[in-house]
Structures are given as C-alpha cells and as structure tokens.
Amino acid sequence: MASGFSGRELGLGAGGGGGSLLKRTLADMERQHQQMQLQHQQSLFLRSVKQRTLAAPPIATLSPAVVGGFPCNSFSAATQSSVSSLSTVTSVGFAFPRRPELLAGSVPEVRSSGSLRDQLKELERRLLLDDEEDEASASGSAVTHADWSEAIQSLMSTPQPPVATTTAGHLSPSPTSSSSSTISSCASCSPPSSMPSPPPPPTGTSRQMLLDTATAIGEGNLQAATANLAVIKAAANPRGDAEQRLTAMLYATLFSRLNNPQAGSSHAVAELRSPEHFAATQMLYDLSPCFKLAFIVANHAILEATKDEPNIHIIDFEVGHGSQYAAFLHALTQRFRHRPSFSRPTIRVTAVVDPSSPFTNINSGGLRIVGDRIEKLAERIGVGLRFSVVSRRPEELDAAALGCEPGEVLIVNLAFVLSRVADESVSLANPRDEILRRVRALQPRLVTLAEQEINTSTAAFPARFAEACGHYGALLESLEATAAGAVQQGVAGRARAEAGLARRAVNAVAREGQERVERCEVLGKWRARMGMAGLKPVPLGPSAVELVKYRLESAGSNPGFTIKEAVGGVALGFGWRGRVLTVLSAWR
C-alpha cells in the first residue's frame, strides 16, 4: 500500500451492518471468520476459472499453495471434500452460470474415483461453456449524473494531442526502463499486457497502461504517451463503473500534463477556487464515510478533552459549510441526555482565514451566514455559542489576534486544510510549518488533524500518479458503494463529488510549482512536522474506536469500509478494502 500507514486493522464483522458486532462472542466471530475464509478461497478458485478467456492460467496448473496471489494452505482440502460443496458459494451472492446440475451441487459426469485434477478440468470445461451467456450480465454499475462528464470535458478543453503511428493496428509498447518499477509498485495494478488499439483494454490492462503512460511522459517519450492515450480514452467512461470513471479521471490528468507541461496557467488554481468546487468538496464530506468518520472522531476527541469545562474556545482553519459543528452540537445534546447534571458550556468558535491564500474568497461572504446558522442551532439546544471570523496571515497569528481569553480551554481544529497550505517545497516562508509553530505557541488543550493519506507534495510526477491510481481508485469504489444506499444525495450527489475529486487529481498530479496547491502528505510526514513544531501525539482511546464501529454498523455500511489504528492509538485511519484513505490524529 502506497500510504505506508502502519497499524492494526480493526474488524467490523462480516456484514458490516445491523449493529450486532459488539454482541457477538469470540467463538462466534472465530467461526464466522473461518467460514468467510473458506468462501473467499472457493470464490477465488471460481474467478480463476471464469477469467480463463483473459489469458489466466488453466486451473490444472495452479499451485495448491497459492490461489489468486493469496496463500491458501487449505484450498486442496476444501475442494477435495466434495465438488457439491460449490453450492455453498452460491449462498453468499456469486453470479453462478445457469446450469441446474451445478446449482444442485451434483456433477454426474465426474467420476468419484478420478483424481482431483480430472475433476477440476471437467468442472472448468462446464463453466466455460456458459461464458457467452453470462457476458451481458457482467457489466458495470449505476450510471452517474451528466455533471460528471461535463466536468471531465472541461478538464480536457485543450486540443487533442496527435496519436502516434502504430504498426499493424497494434499499440506500440510502453517504455520499460528502470523508472517503470516505481510506477508498477501500485498495489492495485496488474501486469502489463499487449492489446490491440481499437477495442478498450480490460480493467487490469487499463491501469497498467495508465501507469506506463505516466512513466512515458516523465521520461519525455511523447510518442508512446500519445499512442497510449488513444487506447485509454476508449476505455474511459465518466458514466460507467468505478474503474471506468477512474480511467476517465486519470485520462484527464495525463491529458492535462501532456498539454500543459509549463507553469504559468492561472486556470489550474482558479478551477479549485470556484463556488462549484467548494460545494462539491462539501458534498464529498457528506457522502464519504471515510471523510465523515474523521469529523466524527475529531468531535469526539474535542468533547473528551473539554469534559466538564465551562468555557471552550475552538479555533478552526476550515469551517466550510459548518456541518462539523452541527454534528458537534448534536453529540453535545446526546451527552446532556445521558448526563442531566452535565453543565452546559459556553462555546466560542473562531474561523481563521488567510488573506494571502488563493482560497480565501471562496466562502468568505458565506462564513457569516454559516456562523449565524451555527449560533441559532446552539441556541435551540440551550448552549451559548459565539461565532467570529479573524483574517490573519500565518505569521500574524497569536493569542491577542485570535481573541483568546483567560480561563477558557483552547482547541485547534485542522480538518483537511493544511494540505492546501504551501510547504517548504513551494515557499521559503513555509507557511505550513509556520501555522503549526503558531498553534503550539497558543498552548492548546488539543489539536485535531485530519488529512487524506496520499503523498502528492514532494513526490515526482510518475510516483504521484501511481499514488493517485490506488488512492482515487479505492475512493471511487467506496463512493459507488455509498451512493447505492444514499437516498438524499444519490447518484447525482456522487457525480458532483467525483467531479470535484477529478479537479483535485488534475491539480495534485499534473501541476508543478505554485500551481500545485493540492499537496497531501502521509501520516509519517505529518508526525514529523508536528514533532518539529513541539506538538506531541495524544492517544484517541478505545472509546473513539468503539464509536466508529458503532456508527458504521448502525448505518448498515458496506463491509468494504475498514478502520486501522496506528501504533499507540494516536491515529485512526479510515479506508476501503484495507487501503487507508483518510487519517485523524490528535496532538497537544
């Protein structure tokens, strides 16, 4: 995994829903785990058979120790028990071929006295007979809103690059120099393969071709890059499944890099400053559990740090639409309900804006409206809350400028904001570290930091592209799973959020210098920065972990969402199928 987030993964149960995890016994969980492992191994075997037409090795040549890249010591035992046990696999939702004798769990023609190899060959032959029948049902997922494709088209507004000449209708091979090894390290990418140029390539080939094209651009091999882009464009579909939408997003990124290699385009930053992009970002925070959970845990950490305190002052560098504070006040009312004797605090929220930042004017007029809404919500639950806005450069931040008062508990909230502040690679002043030093000087009770787990700051273009391939691929898959159950936002909301992600990807990967304002870093780098500023990590505690598990299960979330706890419990990573996408950490 590219992020390098070290920690242990926290189980959420097999179904990911229903709120039953905390009620299961250890023996139940162990039996469930063994059953899932057996079903997973059998499904890997079936997928290996079904994909033989895509040049997969025959079943007879598979090593009994490894299936699909996973160690499976019990694979042989599971299959030798009975061929009829395949009916168990159908019960967990696999699309089985329409053959009654297979669904019934009996294969009359297979002799029980034959070897396991002969039985598997016969089963393989039977399954492959139905490939043509099942092809139509294997298509992608729901169609997204037209806004997605419009956003992609706007990112590709420059003229189409010329396509390099190919031989006999075949794509010229991508470069295979040593730098390709860096790109191919993306965990979710398949080995390279040679494909004809007219039809779109298979999924794994599309990702590998994307990575090879980034390598070609990084090495200046424009002929190979333009030839690959012609094939990638055919596979891209902003209204298709998650893989096709990822291809469309990264095609726009490669296209932009190839046609805008020089710095100096104000369009690169302007598109991230538009009200539409600001709204798309807020939609992403509302839709994605990976972002939403980061806000929830930040609020929980703040409540724990300010327990029984009468005066609380929260300094926030990115208030946005104020949805975090609506959730914070809701959590506060829950605490009142469970503890009637709990004294209701007086809260001050200070929104900090940097007049030198290109993002200052996105929502400056709306901040006062957001503040009024937060104040009215607090008034309804009987909490006194004052909202104010302070405009200061990083070097001007101090207790007096921020209106800090004696006797109040100070909290600093840094939610998905520092990644858009210039670091030492852009400015000698290094405002990113300057903010952290100024925050440390305020001596806050707690500092919460939430960021995406991806390195788009100091890495070179090919490495940034490889990171984006895995990170945005997992994020799009998670959004697809979320939108399927979202009633209010639905597919249209997902399309808007993904259009904003596409603009981020183009800026973070294709741009250089001051034009690249999306500069995310991984937890290890943030840990170093916080340490140099004099801040120390604060364990989030088991209550934060249990809260996240409860929220995921009570909402019936897809079991693909995962939680990882950093060593020492100082951070929680939220991701999709094991890949960490966002991280929340606490400091003081």
With b meaning 16 or more CB within 10 Å and e meaning fewer, what string describes 185-207? ebebbeebeebebeebbbbbbbb
Q: Which secondary structure element, helix H or strand E, spans residue 435, and what is its range?
A: helix 431-441
> What is the reported pLDDT for 558?
80
- Listed in sequence order, the residues at least 6 apart from 85 whose beta carbon sits closer than 8 Å to its beta carbon are 42, 78, 79, 105
pLDDT of 128 above 50? no
Mean pLDDT of 443-448: 98
Mean pLDDT of 212-238: 94
> What is the reported pLDDT for 366?
83
pLDDT of 277 above 90? yes
Distance from C-alpha of 278 to C-alpha of 285, rounded to nearest angstrom? 11
pLDDT band at 84 (very low <50, low <70, confident <90, very high): very low
| pTM, entire model | 0.69
88-98 pLDDT, tens digit per residue, is 333 333 333 33
* Mean pLDDT score of the chain: 75
Distance from C-alpha of 17 to C-alpha of 486, rounded to nearest angstrom? 15
Given the structure tokens 């390099």, which residue do they identify?
Answer: 164
Nearest Cα residue to 351 out of 343, 341, 362:
362
Mean pLDDT of 12-40: 49
Nearest Cα residue to 240 out of 206, 214, 208, 277:
206
> What is the reported pLDDT for 38?
61
The DSSP result for 548-560, as a single string, is HHHHHHHTT--TT
HEC letters along 79-113 = HHCCHHHHHHHHCCCCCCCCCHHHHCCCCCCCCCC
Mean pLDDT of 153-180: 39
**Listed ranges 108-117, 178-187, 297-306; the one with the highest mean pLDDT:** 297-306
386-425 pLDDT, tens digit per residue, is 999 999 999 999 999 999 999 999 999 999 999 999 999 9
Of the two residues 148 and 552, the one the predictor is more confident about is: 552
pLDDT band at 344 (very low <50, low <70, confident <90, very high): confident
pLDDT band at 191 (very low <50, low <70, confident <90, very high): very low
Tell me the C-alpha to C-alpha distance, in Å, between residue 211 and each of 190, 232, 241, 300, 477. Answer: 10, 11, 20, 40, 19
pLDDT band at 552 (very low <50, low <70, confident <90, very high): confident
Question: What is the separation of C-alpha 100 from the centre of its chain, rounded to a whole number of angstroms?
Answer: 41
pLDDT of 457 above 60? yes
